[in-house]
Chains A and B, each alone.
Chain A
Amino acid sequence: MFALIVPSTDAVAVMFLGKVPAFLLIPILLMIGAAVAVASEFVVFRNMRNATPVAMMISSFALGFVIQNSLLAIYGSRPKAISLWPELNTPVTVIGASVPLLQIIVILATLVVVVTLAVLLKKTKIGLEMRAAAENFTMARLLGVRANVVITGAFALSGALAAAVAMIMVTQTGVADIRMGGQIMLVAFIATVIGGLGSLPGAVAAGFLIGAASVILQGFLPLEARPFRDAFLYTLVIFSLLLRPQGLFVPRSAKPRV
């Protein structure tokens, strides 16, 4: 369920970038991301515990809309050039292939994040509580889980991760744009649903699948069809949903109860 609610905090964190040394900057940005997410949980989502997933989706869009336009009002609509660690874009040679250093860092960081998340969710007490609260909020509380605290924690985590994504994007492109969250958010939404709501391996697999599919389409489509790549990609998304409506990896909790 939480996976649904990653509002476009992406853009938020980036706008506060200053000239701070990296070892300070990274934790500060992650904390800002977490703080914004926790605040939004407190103000909005806490009051919507019993709402349907679709209502939550609409309100998270509304929230994203508010955040985006607040930033627009404060910073103006022009993309900002920010050179964040430009030296990371210098290529290095790995087994004969020249790859920007940043991409290696991104791959390693993603691995670390995914493994940590998996361990956190499956092996620790707080992970167990998180899963319990996601599955049945009231029941979890009755059994002594401090579900509100746990969910706030989940929000903080997702906010921090969104900030991390924002940092990576800014380092890669060198500009911070208020609209940069839009496309990636759409893909993230779709990936979580294709992967199966509430399944971490599903989300990871779906993310890879969408990325791979778009690269493959880009490579193999005839030239005149290439501008329509995204159309083909989203058609595949619909097909995947038709074949596995519950997602590729169905968590046991997703079975509808009658």
Chain B
Amino acid sequence: MAQTHKQKRLSAWSTPVLLILVLLVFTLLISVLGDKSLARMAAQTLIRVTFVVGLWIFVGNSGVVSFGHAGYMAIGAYCSAWLTLKPQMKGLFLPDLWPFLANAEWPVLPAAIASGLLASLVALLSGAAILRLTGIAASIATFAFLAIVYTVYSSWEGVTGATSSVVGLARYSDQWVTFGWASAAVLAAAWYANSASGLALRATREDEVAASASGINMYRHRLISLVLSAFFTGVAGALFGHSLGVLNPNSFYLGVTFITLAMLVVGGIGSLTGAVTGVLVLSIMIEGLVRMERAVEIGEATLALPTGAQEIIIGIVMILVLILRPAGLSGGRELRLRIGAR
């Protein structure tokens, strides 16, 4: 009995290891074979992995779909910008920053961690209210949260630069930095999902009533997972800012919410493997379609998809997956090794 338990635990830990290996192969392949634009695409993909895995920590385990995580991403992104930009720049573009922030010139890694922590703090406060709701009301409330963050960040001229972008962020997030964070997110997600709190939360996902009848405090476990989840979405935001070098509130609104949810749904909400596969599959598809929009020359003829075809195809794929495979490509199963098979 104890033996099987041990084996199961070990085999559960093989999931994050395998997933990180997959990401490593992906990154290596692109670094070796690809040009600069492919490397940039790999970095973007790995940032999305960090984000979607972060999102999965909450959505996958609790079963509550959150539309608000792009808000935590925005909070993280701007926090990192506040901490790392040169003070002269901030004096020029963001004149109303508090003195502490205006003079800060942190190295990038502590700034990224601080961004995650700030997002976590906001998640703790907003979640304390929102997570008292269940079902569709909770999802709508997360939507309202997103709209609040968006309104604040796109109107607070002196602190966030409002709709004129913040520029000049150090572009340090290449594919290897983002690979590091994505792996950290995968490890943390696997650790949380197998922790006592994660298991309790999954029980509430399957049946709220039965779980609370068994003495599980649903509210508390949801809050814990949201805080952890917001940390990685915040970090993803910071990485995002430092990969483009430019921040604009519009990059953290409905567009990113939609595409990341699409990735999670296509991959399969029920499992960590699903979250990672969804990002990889859709990102590769998007990249391919974007290249096709730019016209491919086959012999004499030039073939080009009309602009917008990429979004249309992604939308159709998402609907098809929802209809044909409601549990996503992974079907809610994890990629794992059978260690010490009986």
Q: Is B93 an interface position by the 8 A CB rule?
A: no
Give CA–CA (A234, B262) in the complex, Å. Answer: 25
Q: Which of B148, B315, B318 is A69 in contact with, Cβ under 8 Å?
A: B315
What string of 1s and 0s marks CB contacts (under 8 Å) between A225-244 and chain B?
00111110011011001100
CB distance B145 to A234 under 8 Å? Answer: yes
Q: Is B209 an interface position by the 8 A CB rule?
A: yes
CB distance B129 to A238 under 8 Å? Answer: yes
Q: Is B333 an interface position by the 8 A CB rule?
A: no
Nearest-neighbor residue (CB-CB) of A72 within chain B: B308
Given contacts A44-B323, A70-B308, A73-B312, contact A241 B155 (CB under 8 A): no
CB distance A242 to B318 under 8 Å? Answer: no
What string of 1s and 0s marks CB contacts (under 8 Å) between B114-137 and chain A?
000000000000000110111111
Q: Is B95 an interface position by the 8 A CB rule?
A: no
Q: Is A65 an interface position by the 8 A CB rule?
A: yes
Residues on the A chain within 8 Å of B134, using CB: 245
Q: Is A95 an interface position by the 8 A CB rule?
A: no
Nearest Cβ distance between residue A187 and chain B, in whole angstroms?
A: 10
Q: Which of B129, B143, B309, B311 is A186 in contact with, Cβ under 8 Å?
A: B143
Residues on the B chain within 8 Å of A57, using CB: 65, 136, 139
Nearest Cβ distance between residue A199 and chain B, in whole angstroms?
A: 14
Residues on the A chain within 8 Å of B135, using CB: 53-54
Give CA–CA (A129, B318) in the complex, Å. Answer: 31
Interface of A is mostly: helix
Given contacts A182-B254, A234-B144, contact A228 B152 (CB under 8 A): yes
Which of A11-19, A104-112, A168-176, A189-197 lies at the interface with chain B? A189-197
Q: Is A142 an interface position by the 8 A CB rule?
A: no
Residues on the A chain within 8 Å of B323, using CB: 44, 47-48, 59
Nearest Cβ distance between residue B152 and chain A, in whole angstroms?
A: 5
- Identify the interface centre among B130, B135, B262: most chain A CB within 10 Å of its CB: B135
Within residues 151 to 193 of chain A, which ones have a CB less than 8 A from any CB in chain B? 182, 186, 189-190, 193
Give CA–CA (A115, B286) in the complex, Å. Answer: 47
Residues on the A chain within 8 Å of B139, using CB: 54, 57
Residues on the A chain within 8 Å of B265, using CB: 55, 58
Nearest-neighbor residue (CB-CB) of B307 within chain A: A73
Nearest-neighbor residue (CB-CB) of A182 within chain B: B254
CB distance A231 to B148 under 8 Å? Answer: yes
Q: Is A258 an interface position by the 8 A CB rule?
A: yes
Nearest Cβ distance between residue A97 and chain B, in whole angstroms?
A: 31
Q: Which of A72, A231, A245 is B151 in contact with, Cβ under 8 Å?
A: A231
Give CA–CA (A238, B125) in the complex, Å. Answer: 13
Q: Which of A62, A231, A258 is B322 in contact with, Cβ under 8 Å?
A: A62
Nearest Cβ distance between residue B225 and chain A, in whole angstroms?
A: 17
Residues on the B chain within 8 Å of A189, using CB: 140, 143
Nearest-neighbor residue (CB-CB) of A73 within chain B: B308
CB distance B326 to A55 under 8 Å? Answer: yes
Nearest-neighbor residue (CB-CB) of B308 within chain A: A73
Give CA–CA (A70, B312) in the complex, Å. Answer: 7
Within residues 302 to 326 of chain B, which ones have a CB less than 8 A from any CB in chain A? 306-309, 311-312, 314-316, 318-319, 322-323, 326
Residues on the A chain within 8 Å of B26, using CB: none
Within residues 50 to 81 of chain A, which ones have a CB less than 8 A from any CB in chain B? 51, 53-55, 57-59, 61-63, 65-66, 69-70, 72-73
Nearest-neighbor residue (CB-CB) of A68 within chain B: B311
Nearest Cβ distance between residue A255 and chain B, in whole angstroms?
A: 12
Nearest-neighbor residue (CB-CB) of B146 within chain A: A234
Residues on the B chain within 8 Å of A61, using CB: 258, 261
Nearest-neighbor residue (CB-CB) of B152 within chain A: A231
Nearest-neighbor residue (CB-CB) of A258 within chain B: B209
Q: Which of B137, B145, B262, B319 is A63 in contact with, Cβ under 8 Å?
A: B319
CB distance B319 to A238 under 8 Å? Answer: no
Q: Which of B141, B148, B151, B322 is A55 in contact with, Cβ under 8 Å?
A: B322
CB distance B151 to A228 under 8 Å? Answer: yes
CB distance B148 to A62 under 8 Å? Answer: no
Nearest Cβ distance between residue A122 and chain B, in whole angstroms?
A: 24
Nearest Cβ distance between residue A45 and chain B, in whole angstroms?
A: 9
What string of 1s and 0s marks CB contacts (under 8 Å) between A15-42 and chain B?
0000000000000000000000000000
Residues on the A chain within 8 Å of B140, using CB: 189-190, 193-194, 237, 241
For this complex, 8 residue pairs linking A to B, each with C-beta atoms less than 8 Å apart, are A54-B65, A58-B65, A59-B322, A73-B309, A186-B147, A227-B155, A235-B144, A246-B137
List residues of B whose CB falls within 8 A of some A CB: 65, 129-130, 132-137, 139-141, 143-145, 147-148, 151-152, 155-156, 209, 254, 258, 261-262, 265, 306-309, 311-312, 314-316, 318-319, 322-323, 326
| 6 additional A-B residue pairs with CB within 8 Å, beyond A65-B314, A238-B144 | A48-B322, A54-B135, A69-B308, A73-B307, A182-B254, A231-B148
